[in-house]
Structure 1
């Protein structure tokens, strides 16, 4: 707010409520600028100089705090200091600008909507403070977050693995069912061959049903059944080998795809800002004391962001505010007088222009009337020399000389 006071000012400066220097230092001007105060109006405002110096220090503290918070935030996203530092300074300056706007609004605001405006500013300051508190809390709990980070990553990997396997449940079940069917049938056939072989052996050693030792008729029959089962097994294997190999290849392909996606997910897990926020939330669930400290830190950080606004609200209005209002009123009155004078000049111009136009119009109309009378007389003389229909003569005369004529 740059207002120029018409009153003479004394070149004094204050470092305390009771003592004033003879000159205003550059540092005081910087602090007053941060407090959204005009140094030209502040020079002879007495104790207000100290008040706004205090407000300037609170705004500066908030600005430095916001710059550090933004710096840590960007350090979780980038590793290049040439990116982190400019970004932190820029967003810290944005917070500084917002704080100055809030204080400047309190300086100039009044009337019926004062408390509504203050409520809006408080909500805005609380929102900014809550946002800035997140990177600061992460910075304060950095060791605990780093220690708990692998646990959160493991949980996220397990959840993602379950999700991927659920997506591939149907094709895996279909493939494995086909593999199990073929292998179960193979086991059944192998068991059948084994039973036939044992039966043949028992017949040859005398422990079978016939009780004879040696290869007799019954033993030869069982041997033929045993050999026939082996031949059928060999033929069956030839027919099912291709479907079995295809099913095994499909199962391996699905498993490799699942493992590849899990590997991509694990490699994509970073130690960035959002991951650390999730880790802190999980840490608060498993360790309640962390949650209580977290809330206390959030409240403290939000109080720091509110500090400039609260300092301004707690301090009473002084001479500076009166000078600001007086400067605004003077500028307003000067502008109103200028606007009234301009309107008066415009009004006089249009009135004189209207009178001039009327005079010119009358003179032109008089000339036109004389011309019309002369032309009407000429037309009438011509008509008398060669009279015709009066109605036709009148229509011609009307269309040529009258202002208004009906077609």
Structure 2
């Protein structure tokens, strides 16, 4: 049962194999097994590749099945059509399109499995890249908000400085009129004289201005701090909204790029392995020695070719002979007097009938 299945996979004729030696049967069962397991590997690799893209096991398995069947059918077709030639070079030349295609397919299907094999190392690279992207994202968003934040913060500082300057002026006037009353500065006279009164009035007037300035600036500072809080909140919100995009930066393309940052030698050997797997069915057929099955197949094909050639030649000769006979028959008939008289009479009748019909039609038209 298994042997017949592998024969079917190899694309060989089971009737001819049954008549061939056991060694030939084993050889083609091996070729069929190689084709089958190559398709299985293609199914696994294709399924995993689609799973990394869509993260859906049903879509991945469906695509992997189609991909595996495609590779199976392609390998079976090419292997079954490779004819054993006199030299291996001719067979390689015959199979060269499939070998080129095998290299392309190996590149496609080896990458997903490389990604799975080096998953931990790739995750480390992706983590580093995500951290860099997070910092870049924060810097880019900060560049949008910081100029406005700095401007508002500068205005707040200016308002606070106005209050501090006014407070310093009030404190200086306070110290001036106190020391005047104590007689330690100014007129150097103890007591509250006219100079004290003048300085006290200046202080009180400036104190009223300070209180008014504090009140007005406090309102402006509160408004600007509210704007500042909103800007910082929007900045943090934008950073938070962008973070899931960075966290999901682990798709197929990102993993392939991360894989390229790792050492190339292990990936190269895995690629060579898949090239070997993909080209195995073709190479197995090419490198296999020409055996009894190939001779029987060649004999059967040659016999069919000879039969077709014979049929074609017979049809050609038949056509030529028939043409010659027809030419001779018509030549003999053309010299027969009876045929001549009969055809002459029919021609006269036809001309008379034509004249009568023309006359009737013209009479009808004229009225």
Matched, 1:138 2:119: no
2-structure distance, mates of 1:345, 1:265 = 79
- Determine if contact 2:156/2:224 at 8 Å carries over to the other structure: no
| Cα distance, 1:365–1:244 mapped onto 2, change above 3 Å | farther
- Structure 2 counterparts to residues 1-400 of structure 1, below 5 A: 26-46=1-21, 47-74=23-50, 76=52, 85-107=61-83, 116-142=93-119, 144-145=120-121, 149=123, 152-156=126-130, 158-159=132-133, 162-163=136-137, 165-166=139-140, 169-170=143-144, 172-206=145-179, 210=186, 215-238=196-219, 241-242=222-223, 245-246=226-227, 248-262=229-243, 264-266=244-246, 268-269=248-249, 273-282=252-261, 284=262, 288=263, 291-332=264-305, 334=307, 365-371=347-353
Listed as ranges, the gaps of 5+ residues in structure 2 are none
> Aligned with 2:83: secondary structure?
helix
| Partner SS for 1:45 | coil
Cross-structure match for 1:382 = none
Residue aligned with 1:370, SS:
helix
Partner SS for 1:94? helix
Q: Note the C-alpha offset of 1:300.
A: 2.1
Which range moved further: 292-301 or 112-121? 112-121
Q: Distance in 2 between matches of 1:318 and 1:310?
A: 16
CA distance in 1, matches of 2:166, 2:20: 112
Q: Is this contact kept in 1: 2:134–2:246, CA < 8 A?
A: no
Q: TM-score, normalised by structure 1?
A: 0.66
User: Is the CA contact (8 Å cut-off) linking 2:9 and 2:35 kept in structure 1?
Assistant: yes
Structure 1 residues 160 and 249: CA distance shift in structure 2, 3 A? same
Displacement of 1:219? 4.0
Contact preservation (8 Å) 1:42, 1:49: yes
What is the Cα deviation at residue 78 of structure 1?
Answer: 6.7
Size of the aligned set, in residue pairs, is 340
Secondary structure at 2:110 match in 1:
helix
Aligned residues of 2:7 and 2:29 also touching (Cα < 8 A): yes
Shifted more, 358-367 versus 96-105: the winner is 358-367
Q: Residue deviations 1:174-217, cap 9 Å, x none?
A: 42143123213113212212321331232144299627676542
List per-residue Cα deviations over 1:98-144 (Å, max 9, x = no partner): 221231232388999865543222111112222222233234334x3
> 2:249 and 2:347 mapped to 1: Cα distance?
92
Distance 2:157 2:356 in 1: 129
Q: Matches of 1:364 and 1:328 in 2, distance apart?
A: 58
How many angstroms apart in 2 are the aligned matches of 1:334 and 1:154? 72
CA distance in 2, matches of 1:340, 1:168: 88
CA offsets, 1:60-118, max 9 Å, x none?
33233333334444554577766555544443232222221231232388999865543
Q: Structure 1: how far apart are the matches of 2:203 and 2:343?
A: 140
In structure 2, C-alpha distance between the alignment counterparts of 1:375 and 1:93, rounded to whole Å: 74
5+ residue gaps, structure 1: 1-25, 380-395, 398-407
Q: CA 1:190/1:342 → structure 2, altered by over 3 Å: closer, same or farther? A: farther
Distance 1:42 1:318 in 2: 11
Counterparts of 1:87 and 1:95, CA distance in 2 = 12
Cα separation, 2, equivalents of 1:309 and 1:298: 18
Secondary structure of the corresponding residue to residue 11 of structure 2:
coil
- Distance (Å, rounded) in 1 between the aligned partners of 2:353 and 2:50: 89
Quick one: distance in 1 between partners of 2:134 and 2:306?
70
Q: TM-score, normalised by structure 2?
A: 0.72
